[in-house]
Structure 1
Amino acid sequence: MAQKQFTLEDLNFGGTNYKNMTPGDRTLLWWGDRLVHVEASACYTVNPSNGKESLLLTAADLNRSIEAAGGDETATLQGAVSFPYPDQPLVLVTGTKAYTLYNFKTRRVECRIAKTGNEQAASWNAKSRILACVTGDNLYVGGKQLTTDGSRDIVYGQSVHRNEWGIDGGLFWSPDGKLLVYYRMDQSMVTDYPEVNIPEVDDSTHRIATPAPEKYPMAGQASHKVTILVYNTASGRSVQLQAGDPTDRYFTNVAWSPDSKTIYVFELNRDQNDCRLVSYDATTGGKIAELYRETDPKYVEPLHPIVFLPWNADQFILQSQKDGYNHLYLMDKSGHEIKQLTSGKWVVEQLVGFNPQHQSVIIASNELNPLQRNLFAVDLNTGRRTLLGSDTGWHTPALSASGRYLVDKYQAPDVPRHIDIVNVDNGRKLAYYDAPDPWAGYTVPTYECGTIKAADGVTPLYYRMVKPAHFDPAKKYPTVVYVYGGPHAHNVDAGWHWRSRSWETYMAQRGYVLFILDNRGSENRGRDFEQATYRQLGQEEMKDQMKGVEFLRTLPYVDTTRLGVHGWSFGGFMTISLMTNYPDVFKVGVAGGPVIDWKWYEVMYGERYMDTPQSNPEGYAKTSLLPKAKDLKGKLQIIIGYNDPTVVPQHALTFLKACIEAGTQPDFFTYPGQGHNMRGHQSVHLHERITQYFDDYLKPLK
């Protein structure tokens, strides 16, 4: 029987059949120590000892209760529910029109808070049952309007500093639910970048494009000013943390003390080489103390708030890579370091939670292998680490309220998805779910993983290679290097098919070899590995990628006269960098959303890795691709979202202008109305275009 062939509708996330082609999963939530399996129409409790399921609640009962309470919406369960009370039969349903607290024992709605329909941010507190939300740019708490000056210039209760340093929101409730910390960002002094919305194809009422300016602080220019306020639900008043002048400072990783009396903030200078942990009085906003300070000749990057021990309110865990790798440190509340809890040439990737009974912290780390992510219990008294679950693959954990049980979802190169329920107390695991291979019956390529040495001659780098299904080592194959290469990302790990992107499968099916290498500068390999690119983005990365090319040249089946390169964002920058710095190596390239000159990128990210254009003119000149426009030889297609707020269109457009002046001939395509990445079915169109470009210019033999 002939094997089926893939289409982009199968493989691309915007495709019509994509959902059926991804590994199966289970939506699992903890209700205290009871595991709940959530489906669209019902929820089931799961016995952690044998995996047997029992009906807990149904969407039909929920909707009858909502209707009886005066609601007019139909709620679904999957993706909309949580269990905020470990010892009460209550589920919170976040619907399209309201937040509903439903008692599934009495089958009655206990609390219902209407939504405004255009919330920019929202946070509901389980203790106080109060909703804080931002609507129309202003902050409301419990239905009371707190602010009146909210606008695109004055931003309340939302992410600040362009989501750097782990920031993903701006509302932080105290543990007792009586106080709310919120961000206020004044960006009135930040330059507007002139984005434009063009009318939709079927819009008969608008003829002229409309301005859609984006506040965009470019490297070396004026940045916004952030302050932090605390709202007291009892007094109805807010106080501001007395942190001093916010000019050229960053405030991140907000945390609360267990008694709700103290607020902790990591504060960074604009150079990002001086980080301080500061405590504040939650009642007055007054500064209490500077508890911890960390400096670095290059940069410090705090990414995680402190976390207090559940059994000791006088001690907390701090994460830092001050010894070269991200590790855990036990501190007392005065800021004294009691001891380093983890150490070694590996990275703690996540602090999952605690098991108070054994006084252990549960972590995810790559201790066993740089490509893996495994789970461990770390005894805080002895430092002993105990492996939880499998010693292979890439694991995503969820810990129960008491820390006694762990849901362990993992993939391995040959495992689409497996779910274990792990008893943290004794290490026993129950195999709960095995996803079938969604690609059964299809012609599947070969996925391989290996290592080469970096350009420094010492550091091992990991690569993935994807080969056509009926690979013939005697043939010569056109080869595409897919690249990202930037900070806080990696391409190769021990997930399914070595984490291969589905477009690689599509290209292999069309007769290409794909090669993907994680160069120095990418994540999870330690501080020095990441900082090797400091003040010269793209330079060491290109050297490592060219070591990958050297390796490809040793393979008789790689046709290095037909070598292509493709990447997006930082990978788009790398694509054009490689095409113009090594014009005789790469015949074809497709660069998506590329950075062209780092002086046009935003302050927080750009200055961390490059400093300012004023202090590092040589680095900015070296990394700019504008002078390289004249060196373009191969076929290059640049693709952007016309409304990209991350890498603004000025990058690509100015490079085109430089190419015009230099007489070189890149191709260009844009997606009107789209941002940094293409959404929905437009992503299928995008990848058809990328594929077609390589088919047109790389695949044909000379």
Structure 2
Amino acid sequence: MKKFTTLLFIFTFFLGFSQQKNISIEDAVLGYYKGLYPTSLYNLQWVSNSNTYIYQKDNNLLFSDAKSNNVIQKISFETIQKTYPELRRLPYIQEITATNLTFSNRNAIEVYNYKTNSKENTIAFDENAQNSEYNAHAKAVAYTLDNNLFIATTTNAKIAVTEISDKNIVSGQAIHRSEFGIVKGTFWSPEGNYLAFYQKDETNVTDYPLVDINTYPATLMNIKYPMAGQGSEIAKIGIFNLKTQKTSYLDIDTTDEHYLTNLTWTPDEKYVLVAEINREQNHVWYNRYSVETGKKVNTLFEESNSKWTEPEFDAVFLPKSTTNFLWFSERDGFMNLYEYTTDGKLVKQLTKFNWVVTGILGFDESGKNVFITGTGEDARESHAFKVNLKSGKYAKITVQNGTHYTQLSTNGNYLIDNYSNLTTPNITAITDINKKKATSILIAENPLADYNIGTTEFVTLKANDGTDLYTRVIKPANFDATKKYPVLIYVYGGPHAQMVTNSWLGGANLWMDVFATNENYIVFTLDNRGSANRGFAFESIIHRNLGNVEMEDQLTGVDYLKSLNYVDSNRIAVNGWSFGGFMTTSLMLRNPGIFTTAVAGGPVTDWKYYEVMYGERYMDTPQENPEGYEKAKVHNYIKNLDGKLLLIHGSVDPTVVPQHSMTLLQEAVKQKVQIDFFTYPMHEHNVRGVDRVHLIEKMMNYIVENNK
């Protein structure tokens, strides 16, 4: 039996046992619309270059002074509607200055002067536009139509940045399947004089067939899907000059299919910094390119690692500097900050934490301090910190235990802090950073106080190598330790995800708590090695062997559950989606006899069918690592099925393509093994909207019916 330890402090959240109201799975899935999640302040943000913040209340925008937290101005929806009669509700505010509000209004960006109650600017663009990005300096919007990129200004709604007829070439959209921290494809220069953009040539990428069943007859919907070991996209970076209205390209040869990411403008708009990663993803070159010539000026630094290198953040320049910037790197084992110059000089390693830095909030007015976010000592939490740029000395700003989402005022004097933990639904506070004083402006009530809901506990176990493994245990209401309860293990287990957090409900979805109480189940989740926010060694141990260490840790969790007197060790089910679907099928088929029932959604069943960028980072190519791919291939274990297995897949899933489930079903037929299958027609990787109720009910009903 493996040894396990429990946290000296176990967060237990008792919502009471005498409530009469029950929550249905349907209401739990739609909980945000049913008032079952904690309230928060909408449109909460700082007015730029001020100590004033705004938020929405009772159909009004309220302006408050951070020093006193008194309301100093109010703008009603009716006032804004007089200028924009087509509005039906207060819009989401994209930017706010001392005079202007900027928001989207159908296919236009509106700049509204709230001092004079008048339109400052309207920038209209094509109603079919996608990927729009507004720049206040340029008074322009970049957007895409199909595969080309355009700009709209106050005087011209359609300036062509690219006019390429070849459908294999895509401009202005996220590239590399949105890996390496890429979330968009356009990048305005600091003063709005240029627009940089990603472009990808997918000629070498194979077409993957999906089918639209809503046409008569059904029609083919080909997507470009680069599978591991096969042809990938060829990336470029374009620069559009708004004055000359000419497009040029940086002189980068990517015919070797290497990656371009973390694009950053220098503040003087003379250079673009680009992280270039070889396809093997074990070497990074951080290069500086001239905007004028498109030529590489210098390589600032290089990083390599025998497992992988994965830059995920743009450079952040220091205040009033065009040369010195902060760079995120895991080179010392944890994501930390390093100061570099554009000449390639390493000034210093700024932070030296044995925990993960997750972001930069901004700087103070003096330019002496940077404000960052990170986990702090407890990887299940998220906090804000102040770091001196010269000495590296730091102070924790958010002192309450939990998960904090923060916004820094432009001058660095105040912090908007939204936080929760296992016993706190949501508190929004304004923190005076200099006085170290926080004032709550919203204390959300417990939305589940009148409902029959159980308890959530955090337990820490030990992996076989002694590593701490964080888990979450949800017990039903009226839990009785003298009884035996069946268990549902909800698993994800893959990179870039963390299921167990010190936040409201412990990071769980409400349907898990409701299922536990309605069906008298224990719902258990463990973040195994390979998951996020624990440092490079913890995350990279999975390299070339996806599933092995992850399952070992999950089975440590199973051993813990079996050690509990109130667990029915003969009734353990497992459920997960995407990487969690891979884990679910692997756990069920590679460990027969442990689980009675498994429900795997959107499962990766053979990593050779997964995408180049993600798959090759963790597994290398199928040609380089045939043993690893073969061992992880779920099909090889189908004959081991001992119990009930349900596969679920969206019929037009562009992320984990249907071939994963189809080929596993094919192997089940070949091996004469009976498994169950359900597809959600015309749904992609996640079943969203009201149809998600059907999905959760199907999964939970299957578990209850078969976990016996």
Letter in 2 for 1:497: L
What CA distance in whole angstroms lies between the structure 2 residues aligned with 1:39 and 1:228?
43
Query: Is the 1:483–1:574 Cα contact (8 Å) retained in structure 2?
Result: yes
What CA distance in whole angstroms lies between the structure 2 residues aligned with 1:132 and 1:691?
44
Query: Is the 1:227–1:246 Cα contact (8 Å) retained in structure 2?
Result: no
What CA distance in whole angstroms lies between the structure 2 residues aligned with 1:559 and 1:150?
62
What CA distance in whole angstroms lies between the structure 2 residues aligned with 1:517 and 1:19?
29
Aligned to 2:390: 381
1:156 to 167, 171, 189: 171
Aligned to 2:12: none
What secondary structure, in the 3-state scheme, does the structure 1 residue paired with 2:216 have?
Answer: coil
Aligned to 1:212: 221
Between the two structures, name the one with larger relative contact order (CA 8 Å, sep ≥ 6).
Answer: 2
What CA distance in whole angstroms lies between the structure 1 residues aligned with 2:502 and 2:19?
30
Deviates more, 1:610-619 or 1:115-124: 115-124
Change (3 A) 1:527 1:122: same
What CA distance in whole angstroms lies between the structure 1 residues aligned with 2:315 and 2:557?
40
Deviates more, 1:49-58 or 1:589-598: 49-58
Aligned to 1:82: 94
Q: Deviations over 1:64-103 (max 9, x none)?
A: 2235xxxxx325334x212354xx4011121113211110
Indicate whether 1:135 and 2:151 are aligned.
no
Aligned to 1:202: none
Deviates more, 1:512-521 or 1:384-393: 384-393
What CA distance in whole angstroms lies between the structure 2 residues aligned with 1:188 and 1:614?
22
The structural deviation recorded for 1:115 is: 3.0
What CA distance in whole angstroms lies between the structure 2 residues aligned with 1:498 and 1:120?
35
1:4 to 18, 21, 28: 21
What secondary structure, in the 3-state scheme, does the structure 1 residue paired with 2:27 have?
Answer: helix
Kindly report the root-mean-square deviation, in angstroms, between the aligned alpha carbons of the 2 structures: 1.4
Deviates more, 1:307-316 or 1:483-492: 307-316
Aligned to 1:685: 694
The structural deviation recorded for 1:151 is: 5.8
Query: Is the 1:239–1:284 Cα contact (8 Å) retained in structure 2?
Result: no
Q: Deviations over 1:4-62 (max 9, x none)?
A: 1111232114x6x7441111001201112220113583211112123222444233222
What CA distance in whole angstroms lies between the structure 2 residues aligned with 1:172 and 1:56?
34
Aligned to 1:461: 469
What CA distance in whole angstroms lies between the structure 1 residues aligned with 2:254 and 2:492?
37
2:335 to 313, 326, 331: 326
Deviates more, 1:38-47 or 1:156-165: 38-47
Indicate whether 1:66 and 2:84 are aligned.
yes
Aligned to 2:370: 361
Indicate whether 1:304 and 2:313 are aligned.
yes
Aligned to 2:45: 29
Indicate whether 1:603 and 2:603 are aligned.
no
Query: Is the 1:392–1:412 Cα contact (8 Å) retained in structure 2?
Result: yes
Letter in 1 for 2:39: G
Q: Deviations over 1:247-284 (max 9, x none)?
A: 32100011011111110111000000000111111122
Aligned to 2:9: none
What secondary structure, in the 3-state scheme, does the structure 1 residue paired with 2:78 have?
Answer: helix
1:242 to 222, 227, 251: 251
1:631 to 628, 635, 640: 640
Query: Is the 2:578–2:656 Cα contact (8 Å) retained in structure 1?
Result: yes
1:45 to 35, 60, 63: 63
Moved over 4 A (4+): none
What secondary structure, in the 3-state scheme, does the structure 1 residue paired with 2:513 have?
Answer: helix
Query: Is the 1:482–1:566 Cα contact (8 Å) retained in structure 2?
Result: yes
What secondary structure, in the 3-state scheme, does the structure 1 residue paired with 2:634 have?
Answer: coil
Aligned to 1:474: 482
Deviates more, 1:481-490 or 1:366-375: 366-375
Q: Would you say how many aligned residue pairs link Structure 1 and Structure 2? A: 682
Q: Deviations over 1:503-560 (max 9, x none)?
A: 2112211100011000000000000100010001001100110111111111011111
2:270 to 256, 261, 265: 261
What CA distance in whole angstroms lies between the structure 1 residues aligned with 2:96 and 2:393?
32
Q: Deviations over 1:368-393 (max 9, x none)?
A: 31211111100111211111122410
Letter in 1 for 2:45: L
Indicate whether 1:231 and 2:249 are aligned.
no
Q: Deviations over 1:183-209 (max 9, x none)?
A: 11111221011000102xxxxxx4311
What CA distance in whole angstroms lies between the structure 2 residues aligned with 1:9 and 1:164?
33
Q: Deviations over 1:655-686 (max 9, x none)?
A: 00101111111110010000000110000010
Aligned to 1:166: 181
Q: Deviations over 1:111-142 (max 9, x none)?
A: 11123121121111101101111123321123
Query: Is the 1:520–1:529 Cα contact (8 Å) retained in structure 2?
Result: yes
Q: TM-score, normalised by structure 1?
A: 0.95
What CA distance in whole angstroms lies between the structure 2 residues aligned with 1:500 and 1:217?
33
What CA distance in whole angstroms lies between the structure 2 residues aligned with 1:344 and 1:302?
18
Deviates more, 1:50-59 or 1:307-316: 50-59
Deviates more, 1:597-606 or 1:110-119: 110-119
Change (3 A) 1:428 1:647: same
What CA distance in whole angstroms lies between the structure 1 residues aligned with 2:464 and 2:509?
26
The structural deviation recorded for 1:2 is: 4.6
Aligned to 1:396: 405
Q: Give unpaired runs (5+ residues) of structure 2.
A: 1-17, 153-157
What secondary structure, in the 3-state scheme, does the structure 2 residue paired with 1:46 have?
Answer: strand
What CA distance in whole angstroms lies between the structure 2 residues aligned with 1:255 and 1:75?
38
Aligned to 1:498: 506
Q: Deviations over 1:215-242 (max 9, x none)?
A: 0000000001110010001111111101
Q: Deviations over 1:585-637 (max 9, x none)?
A: 00001000000000000000000000000000010011001111111111011
Q: After superposition, where does 1:616-627 map in structure 2 within 5 Å?
A: 616-627=625-636
What secondary structure, in the 3-state scheme, does the structure 2 residue paired with 1:694 have?
Answer: helix
What CA distance in whole angstroms lies between the structure 2 residues aligned with 1:336 and 1:480?
53
What CA distance in whole angstroms lies between the structure 1 residues aligned with 2:125 and 2:259?
32
Aligned to 1:70: none
Indicate whether 1:188 and 2:240 are aligned.
no
What secondary structure, in the 3-state scheme, does the structure 2 residue paired with 1:426 have?
Answer: coil
What CA distance in whole angstroms lies between the structure 1 residues aligned with 2:78 and 2:381?
42
Aligned to 2:13: none
Letter in 2 for 1:31: V
What CA distance in whole angstroms lies between the structure 2 residues aligned with 1:141 and 1:285?
21
Query: Is the 1:329–1:340 Cα contact (8 Å) retained in structure 2?
Result: yes
Letter in 1 for 2:610: Y
Query: Is the 1:93–1:101 Cα contact (8 Å) retained in structure 2?
Result: yes
Letter in 1 for 2:515: M
Query: Is the 1:121–1:133 Cα contact (8 Å) retained in structure 2?
Result: yes
Q: After superposition, where does 1:269-308 map in structure 2 within 5 Å?
A: 269-308=278-317
Letter in 2 for 1:386: A
Query: Is the 1:483–1:516 Cα contact (8 Å) retained in structure 2?
Result: yes
What CA distance in whole angstroms lies between the structure 2 residues aligned with 1:152 and 1:268?
26
Q: Give unpaired runs (5+ residues) of structure 1.
A: 68-72, 200-205
Q: After superposition, where does 1:509-658 map in structure 2 within 5 Å?
A: 509=517, 510-658=519-667
Q: Percent identity?
A: 39
